[in-house]
Amino acid sequence: MIEDSIQELESRSLARIQSAASPGELEAVRVEALGRKGTLALIGKEMGKLAPEDRARVGKLLNGAKQKLEAAFEARQRQDAGAALRARLDAEWLDLTLPAPGPRRGYLHPITQIQRELEELFVSLGFTVLDGPEVEDEYHNFDALNIPATHPARDMQDTFWLDGGKLLRTHTSPVQVRGMERLGPPLRMIAPGRVFRNESVDASHEHTFYQLEGMMVDRDVSVAHLLFFMKTLLTAIFHREVTVRLRPGYFPFVEPGFELDIQCLICGGPGCPVCKQSGWVELLPCGLVNPNVLRMSGIDPEQWGGFAFGLGLTRLAMMRYQIDDIRHLQGGDLRFLEQF
Ligand code: DAH
């Protein structure tokens, strides 16, 4: 009897749906019962052979079986998916209340710290902070600073020359020139920045280092003004009195020119590699602006005078933090940088 086999198929399939041990097995049962060539489909084909009065009853039975089985499959699938999700959530459980390691904080480079401190100081004294190009031309780096073509500083050994007569600035002094050109007198400016020299590297020499240029142009500027600002500067930098000495120094762009030295803060005088065993460190070359320099930038030296200085920021950082090798500063080693 066709009705018996439908009922028998239904209950057998329902039982197998319940007991299927894997998704693969469940799918096999589904194909076997409900697939296009499955048992229900085969039985459906037999319907044609039935007496017309039996067809509606058997057809209803067949449809009922089909719907029950489909519902059972879906229920079982939902149940499996739920179980799988629960298993996954259990396996991947994360304790969100557990304290995480905090974000790592960055550090300002010691030179940046000193630079910012000095910018603040000079701004409070009425100075403007100027920027200049690291790729300079010969005019601003040399000519306009009264450095003649025969001066040893122009030697290939010291300067990184670029194509087209350009160069990497060897000091921050060209920003003086740009400042005078742009702002005119009276003028108070500083220019911190990176400079480059074609030198062999050792504990106290780098090809790349930092300077801070300063310049003041006004009426009747004298060495007394220069000394006042330099003393103010040094006290602010070292937060204490440092021993200094002033020597005559030659720089083509100042006249008279001076070398302001401070007693070495690393060894305190007896001598060490940083002060080249001399006990003193050249820190602050300075002087009164050479009239030629004023004139070349369009300032009348009869009307105006000025002082200028070039502070070695890198050397200063070494003194301040007692760093005994300049190579640490550009080395990028976090173990070094994290100390500041
Ligand atoms: N530009 C000089 C250098 O790099 C430093 C310097 C000396 C700057 C004397 C000045 C100055 O402004 O007056 O070696």
Q: What is the amino acid identity at position 68?
A: K
Please say if the pLDDT value at position 137 is more than 70. Answer: yes
CA of 277 to the centre of ligand 1 (A): 23
Ligand 1 pocket, 213 CB below 6 A?
yes
Question: Averaged over 49-76, what is the pLDDT?
Answer: 87
Instruction: Please report the pLDDT score of residue 156 as a whole number.
Output: 61
Instruction: Please report the pLDDT score of residue 50 as a whole number.
Output: 82
Instruction: Please report the pLDDT score of residue 328 as a whole number.
Output: 92
DSSP element (H, E) containing 312: strand 305-312
Q: What is the per-residue DSSP string for 103-168?
A: PPPP---HHHHHHHHHHHHHHHTTPEE----SEE-HHHHTGGGT--TT-GGGSTTT--B-GGG-EE
CA of 254 to the centre of ligand 1 (A): 9
Q: What is the amino acid identity at position 64?
A: G
Encode pLDDT of 193-209 as tens digits: 999 999 888 888 899 99
What residue owns the CA closest to ligand 1's atom 13?
Answer: 286
DSSP element (H, E) containing 195: strand 187-196
Please say if the pLDDT value at position 4 is more than 90. Answer: no
Ligand 1 pocket, 197 CB below 6 A?
no
Give all strands (DSSP E) within 186-230, no chain letters: 187-196, 208-218
CA of 279 to the centre of ligand 1 (A): 22
Looking at the DSSP bridge assignments, the partners of residue 209 are 195
Helix, strand, or coil (residue 26): helix
The position carrying tokens 């006990």 is 279
Residues with Cβ within 8 Å of residue 228, at least 6 apart in sequence: none
Q: What is the amino acid identity at position 129?
A: V
Question: Averaged over 57-78, what is the pLDDT?
Answer: 88
pTM of the model: 0.68
What residue owns the CA closest to ligand 1's atom 6?
Answer: 310
Please state, for a pLDDT cut of 90, what percent of the chain lies above it. 48
Please state, for a pLDDT cut of 70, what percent of the chain lies above it. 99
Q: What span, in angstroms and rounded, lies between the C-alpha atoms of 163 and 205?
A: 25
Residues with Cβ within 8 Å of residue 19, at least 6 apart in sequence: none
For the chain, how far is it from start to end, CA to CA, in angstroms?
94
Question: Averaged over 147-167, what is the pLDDT?
Answer: 83
Ligand 1 pocket, 309 CB below 6 A?
yes
DSSP-assigned letter for residue 297:
T
Q: How many helices (H) and strands (E) does the chain have?
A: 12, 9
Instruction: Please report the pLDDT score of residue 226 as a whole number.
Output: 93
Least confident of 87-96, 145-154, 296-305, 307-316: 145-154
For 2, the token pair is 């066709």
Encode pLDDT of 277-325 as tens digits: 999 988 899 999 999 999 999 999 999 999 999 998 998 888 888 888 9
